[in-house]
Amino acid sequence: MGVFLSVLALSFIAVAGILVDRHLRARFEQEERDLVAAEEDVKTKLAELLSEKRKLESDLIQAESQLTVADWHAHEQQMPKESAAPATPLPPPARPKAAGKPPMTSNQRNERQGRWLLSNGKISLEQHEKAVRLVGQVAPDLLQTCLLLNYIDKDTAKKAQEASA
């Protein structure tokens, strides 16, 4: 009878261990499913926030552009008129075409002028990157954009224009 009770006790312990193991596994699996669901929720929220951040950054750039243009116009109105010259700089006169050399595109001109401004320490890399992004929104070319953003003065713009010719 002692052996029977020992076997019964060991069987009871084994069954209890199996039941506890199953319960713990089920609990851990449920927690894992909950964590995966929570992770998906966080990923979705992150994607929404990143999208909102990009839109806000775009809105900020646009607002800065509009503010810069408004400041520039206000500054131009406060400046005494030296002559009857127009408020916006006129494009340079057309140069005679060199034989066999095609005319520069506006992108090529902007690149050359940007390189000149950077290499001569007239603007920082960050200013150059911002001005390049705003070309076409604030002003038609890089030099006018830099002028409107107060990165350079008119003399520097003239030197950059001459150097890129």
* pLDDT tens digits for range 53-72: 888 888 887 777 777 667 76
Q: What is the DSSP letter of 139?
A: B
Residue 18 within any structural domain of the chain: yes
Question: Per-residue pLDDT averaged across 86-90, rounded?
Answer: 52
Residue 85 within any structural domain of the chain: no
pLDDT for residue 79 is more than 70: no
Q: Please provide the average confidence, as pLDDT, over all residues in the chain.
A: 83
**pLDDT tens string 104-160:** 788 889 999 999 999 999 999 999 999 999 998 888 999 999 999 999 999 999 999
Distance CA 25, CA 37 (A): 18
For residue 139, the cross-strand partners are: 135
Tell me the one-letter amino acid at 153.
D
Question: Per-residue pLDDT averaged across 21-39, rounded?
Answer: 94
What does the pLDDT read at residue 124? 93
Q: Can you list the alpha helix ranges (DSSP code H) found in 88-164?
A: 106-119, 125-134, 142-148, 154-164
What does the pLDDT read at residue 159? 93
- For 121, the 3-state DSSP assignment is coil
Q: Tokens 């140069």 appear where?
A: 95
Neighbouring C-beta atoms of residue 159, cutoff 10 Å: 17
61 neighbors 134 (Cβ within 8 angstroms):
yes
Residue 20 within any structural domain of the chain: yes
Nearest to 151 by CA among 104, 113, 109, 117: 117
* 38: containing domain: 13-65
pLDDT for residue 81 is more than 60: no
Residue 110 within any structural domain of the chain: yes
Question: Per-residue pLDDT averaged across 34-47, rounded?
Answer: 92
Predicted model pTM = 0.42
Structurally, the chain folds into a number of domains equal to 2
What does the pLDDT read at residue 101? 64
Distance CA 57, CA 38 (A): 28
What does the pLDDT read at residue 72? 67
Segment holding 2, helix H or strand E: helix 2-78
Residue 74 within any structural domain of the chain: no
Residue 8 within any structural domain of the chain: no
What does the pLDDT read at residue 61? 78
Contacts 24+ apart (CB under 8 A), 127-132: 127/151
Residue 147 within any structural domain of the chain: yes
What does the pLDDT read at residue 100? 57
User: Residue 85 — pLDDT band, cuts 50, 70, 90?
Assistant: very low
Q: Is the dihedral of CA 58, 61, 65, 67 positive or negative?
A: positive
Residue 144 within any structural domain of the chain: yes
- Of 34-38, 88-92, 110-114, 120-124, the range with the lowest mean pLDDT is 88-92
Distance CA 10, CA 144 (A): 90
